[in-house]
Amino acid sequence: MAIPIRWALVATGAFALLAPHVAGAQQDGLVALPDVYRVQSENSWVRVVRVRISGNADLPYHTHPPGVMLHVYLDDANPIVFEHDGSPNTVTRPYVAARSYRVGRATPESRAVVNRFPGASEYLRVELKTAGETRMGQRVPAPPLANATRAVVEVANLQYRTTRITIAAADSVVVSPDSGQPAIVIALTTGVRTSSGLSLPLGQDVFTESGQRLVLRNPGSGPAELLRVDLLTEPAVRPGPPAMFRGGPDHSGVYDSPAPALQSVAWTGTCSR
C-alpha cells in the first residue's frame, strides 16, 4: 500500500532540510483513538458514534467509513482544522453552536485533526446504514428554544427526515413511527424522561421501531428539545468487505469495532398531546 508523505521545511543552522510527515497505515478512529471516538449505539439501521475532541488536541491520521451521516453538535465549539491526505487537503470546520447539525454524504479519506483552542468540541456522528444516494449537504442552525410544544420538519428526502421536537415545561409528546420504518430520537437538551422514568442525558439516543410508542415528558420548568430522525429506506446490503469511513466534510475507516446491540423496548404510557 502506498504511504502518503507530507513534507515540512525544517531549518537547522544554515541548512534547510525536508522532513517527511508520514500519514499512512492509519487505523479506524474507533480503534486508533478510543478516547476520542466511542460507539454509543448500533443496529442494522444506524450507528451513533460519540466524539469528543479535547482542547488543544493534535490527533494523528486516522480513518472513518463513507456514507450518509448527521453531525449533531452538543456544545458551542470553536473552529477545528482537518488535515486530509487527499483533496481538499485542509478543511476548517467553522464555529458550531449547540443543538445545530450538519447532514450530507461522506466519501473515503484519512485525516488528522487539530484543535487550536482550549475548549473541547463534543458531537455525535449519526451514520445511516440505510439505502439511498443523498448527496446534498447542509448545515441546520439551532433556533432559539421555543416555549410551546411543537414539531418542525427541517430536512426531508427519500432516505430520511429530520424533525426538531420541542417539549414545553410539564408537557409530553409521543414518538410513534407509522410509516413502516423506524426512527431515532436524540436529546439536544437535558431533562427529558421516558414514561418509565428513564432520564435522557444530553446526546442520548433512543431507537424506536415502527408501531412502538415512545412517550417523552419534560418535568422541568423550561423547554426541552430533541431531534427525531425517521429512517425511510431499508438497511443497505453491503456486499463483500465492509466499507470505509471518514471525517471532516468526508470520512474513511473500517467497520471493525464491536458495538453494543440496541435493546428492543415496548413503550407504554399516556401523554398530553
Q: How does DSSP assign 90-123, residue by residue? A: EEEE--B-TT-EEEEEE----EEEE--SSS-EEE
pLDDT at residue 64, as a whole number: 87
Mean pLDDT in residue range 122-151: 92
Q: Worst-scoring range by mean pLDDT, 99-103, 112-116, 189-193, 209-213?
A: 209-213
Q: What would the grid cell of residue 197 be?
A: 422514568
How many CB atoms sit inside 10 A of residue 110's CB? 27
pLDDT at residue 3, as a whole number: 36
pLDDT at residue 140, as a whole number: 97
Q: Please check the confidence at residue 255 and state whether its pLDDT lies above 60.
A: no
Q: Please check the confidence at residue 246 and state whether its pLDDT lies above 60.
A: no
What is the number of H-type helices and E-type strands within the chain?
1, 23
Q: Please check the confidence at residue 239 and state whether its pLDDT lies above 70.
A: no
Q: What would the grid cell of residue 95 be?
A: 464555529
Q: Worst-scoring range by mean pLDDT, 13-22, 107-116, 117-126?
A: 13-22
Mean pLDDT taken over the chain: 81
Mean pLDDT in residue range 239-268: 36
- Confidence band of 240 (pLDDT split at 50, 70, 90): very low
pLDDT at residue 262, as a whole number: 39
Q: Please check the confidence at residue 215 and state whether its pLDDT lies above 80.
A: yes
Distance between CA atoms of 227 and 3, rounded to whole angstroms?
40
CB 92 within 8 A of CB 79: yes
pLDDT at residue 184, as a whole number: 97
Q: Please check the confidence at residue 250 and state whether its pLDDT lies above 70.
A: no
pLDDT at residue 206, as a whole number: 96
Mean pLDDT in residue range 172-192: 93
Cα distances (angstroms) measured from residue 111 to each of 60, 69, 139, 248, 251: 8, 17, 21, 8, 8
Q: Which domains does the chain show, CATH number per domain? A: 24-142 (2.60.120.10), 143-234 (2.60.120.10)
Q: Which residue, among 269, 244, 216, has the nearest Cα to 62 in the 3D structure?
A: 244
- Confidence band of 120 (pLDDT split at 50, 70, 90): very high
- Side chain identity, residue 251: H
pLDDT at residue 136, as a whole number: 72
pLDDT at residue 105, as a whole number: 87
CB 114 within 8 A of CB 81: yes
Place of cell 410551546: 148
- Side chain identity, residue 244: M
CB 204 within 8 A of CB 185: no
Q: Please check the confidence at residue 48 and state whether its pLDDT lies above 50.
A: yes
Q: Please check the confidence at residue 58 and state whether its pLDDT lies above 80.
A: yes
